[in-house]
Amino acid sequence: MQIALALAALCLPGLAWWLWLGNHKLDGGEALARIFAVSMGFISLAALVFYTFRLTFNAYWIGGILSVLLGLVLVGLLQNWKKAFNKSWLYAILALALFVIWRLWQARDLVFPNWTDSQHHVLIIRKIIENGGLPSTLEPYLPGPFYYHFSFHAVTALFSVLSGLSVEASTLLLGQVMSACIGLSIYALAKAIGKDWRIGLIAGFLATFVTKMPGYYLSWGRYTLLIGSMIMPVAMAEAETLRRDTVKWWKGLGMLLMVAGTLLSHYLSAFLLAIYFVLYGLEWLIKSIKSKKADWGHLLTILLPSLIALLASSRWYIRVLRYSANFISTDLHIPEGQLAIIPSQLEYLRNILGPEMAYSLLVMALLGLIWAMFKTDWRKFGIWSLLVALFTVPVGIMIFSFRSDYYGLVLFVDLSILSAALLVWIYDFIVGRIKWKSVFTSIALALLIGFFAWGAWSNREAVNKSTILVTKADASALEWVKSHTPEDSRFYVNTVGWGYGLFRGTDGGGWLLPTTGRWSLAPTTFYPYGLDDAEAQLWTDWAKRGSELSTCDVEFWELVEEANLNYLYIRRGTSGLQPAELQTCDRLRKLYDNDSVQIWLIEPPVEEKPEEDQSEEQESPEELNLPVEPVVTETPPIVEPTPEPIRPEPTPVPTETEEPIPPTLPPEPYG
């Protein structure tokens, strides 16, 4: 119940806006998409306002704001509920429920949010909660300034506080709910452009069940791009609606919040939205020239809210540009010589656009794109889609450091909408020319449902098993670490190469910093963005040396001393150090064992004493009447000092993703 109430609380800003200022002519699907987008934008902008004025989100502020919003909703319901709601809301809620169930089922095997990006997302959310708002730095966890796109983190932090869920559980749950909401966002955009609910419905189902993205964001932990992909289509849809509606200045408030939410969610989403608005401006200019009359009212209804949103977000963008200038290019990069497709990146793109059955959407979308170019209402979206597709072609061209594969991650928006439009256009063309309309409709509907089912079957495994780092045993061990080790503990964990010269943890040890606040050899892959070059290289060197160890030899003890390590986190079956090798190591004492994960204490070296004091060292704990601390176990107890029997260890298997980023691609600062 608390989780449901927390989700409802997140939607209060959008619901209040809808009841008082929303276009009640829209159907339930369009309304829900706008409510979610406005709510995300409101929370993001509120977080930035509080940061700007050095205010802290405490219980009084949260309670006060939610009370005001709830009051607006209740009064709005009393006055406008007959106009604001109709039976289409029931269909929209049922569709959303289906989408949410599907997305949650796709995450059924996960204990924590997945892969490496999720680690720094959780760390940022944790810091926001502890700080009572956006922080200027992630210290004491990671040094350096904080200047990341934060919309997802701000929303999830609020949800975690209201729901009582852990940050990890909140990230996983809310991320899947947002992924489901993308289906509604696609519906809203397709309906706004084509003014046909059938196109929107088919497009929403295609994006949810057939295309690999955005469902596969779950496997990579692409949460910032996820929320950007949820808000951006709705902002585009709102622009289309305002373009046709009566000019009233207050209607721009929703647009302002949607644009602000997009700008603060992900820079790629902001860039793509800017392109769409530029195309809108060009379309307006051409129409004004042809008609010799400028429709300033509709232009300003969209332009002014967008500019205000940009101005409000500039507080954060200035900070981003200030601290990222050394490694993020704001130029257009074109490779020297003749442009040519890079084969390795093309294979990566093929994997992104899969599964194989989804390739049929490429053909349908291409035909739909050609058709859209001859339709006035669709031409702008067609040109936008064509640009996104061209940016996706891997020839080495980069704008603002956005790699070609990044556009491939959002190409599902174009594929689903253009394919849906083509199917509806073909259906209408055939139905208008045959007599057996009901029979043809039944056959077409059956084929469409079958196609959705085929897509769902192909995408049933949305998580690459090799990217799952945390098991239930890891989660239990991390809880033990939080309550049984000092906050300044420093852990050795097994590491493996991740890419770009960085290293990640092979198991739950990579989550020590985000979940417990304890430093480890794998302090997420986020640390280079805050450290100076020398210290970043030192941390990377430690992780690299850790990845080469398989026993506690001289190199191990040198690393322990240099990195000031005092604990080990080891899970059976991963690469690197394993429990069997640790049994014979001096200065290691096992503190915890749950039959999968072990925590070892690295005891300080014993200083040599003069010969006359040697006799005192020979006294046993029993002679001194000192208690012997037992090992904490979650399985049948291990009796000390009997050595643990050597267990056959599985062959270490590197847990690299089966979709590695091609080595020719530059580092990605936007995930």
Residue ranges and CATH numbers for the domains of the chain are: 2-458 (no CATH), 472-607+622-633 (3.40.50)
> What is the pLDDT at residue 547?
95
Tokens of 482: 């939080």
Total-model pTM: 0.90
| Pick from 274, 403, 281, 421: nearest CA to 349 | 403
Model confidence band, residue 533 (pLDDT cutoffs 50, 70, 90):
confident
pLDDT beyond 70 at 636:
no
Mean pLDDT within 480-507: 95
The pLDDT value recorded for residue 626 is 40
pLDDT digits (tens, 9 = 90+) for 114-168: 999 999 999 999 999 999 999 999 999 999 999 999 999 999 999 999 999 999 9
pLDDT on residue 631: 57
Q: What is the pLDDT of residues 392-404, one digit of tens each?
A: 998 888 888 888 8
Question: Lowest-pLDDT range, 218-222, 337-341, 388-392, 635-639?
Answer: 635-639
- Secondary structure element (H or E) that encloses residue 395, with its range: none
DSSP 491-528: EEE-EEEEETTEEEESSGGGGIIIII--EES---TTGG
**Cβ–Cβ < 8 Å for 199, 421:** yes
Higher pLDDT residue, 365 or 660?
365
For residue 605, what pLDDT band results from cuts at 50, 70 and 90?
Answer: confident
Side chain identity, residue 395: V
SS (H, E, C) 109-124: CCCCCCCCHHHHHHHH
For the cut 80, the answer to whether the pLDDT of residue 571 exceeds it is yes
Looking at the predicted structure, is the pLDDT value of residue 609 above 50? no
At residue 639, does pLDDT exceed 80? Answer: no
Which has the minimum average pLDDT: 260-264, 585-589, 634-638? Answer: 634-638
Q: How confident is the model at residue 607 (pLDDT cuts 50, 70, 90)?
A: low
State residue 41's pLDDT score: 98
Q: Would you say residue 645 has pLDDT above 80?
A: no
Query: Looking at residue 575, what is its pLDDT?
Result: 87
Q: Is the pLDDT of residue 658 over 80?
A: no
Which of 19-33, 338-352, 575-589 is least confident? Answer: 338-352
Share the mean pLDDT of the chain: 89
The tens digit of pLDDT for each residue in 411-425 reads: 999 999 999 999 999
Over the stretch 444-456, which tens digit does the pLDDT of each residue have? 999 999 999 999 9
Long-range contact list for 332-337, CB < 8 A, 24+ apart? 332/397, 332/398, 332/399, 333/396, 333/397, 333/398, 333/399, 334/396, 334/397, 335/395, 335/396, 335/397
Pick the residue with more confidence: 534 or 633? 534
pLDDT tens profile 326-352 = 777 677 778 877 778 888 888 888 888
Residues 163-196 pLDDT 10s: 999 999 999 999 999 999 999 999 999 999 999 9
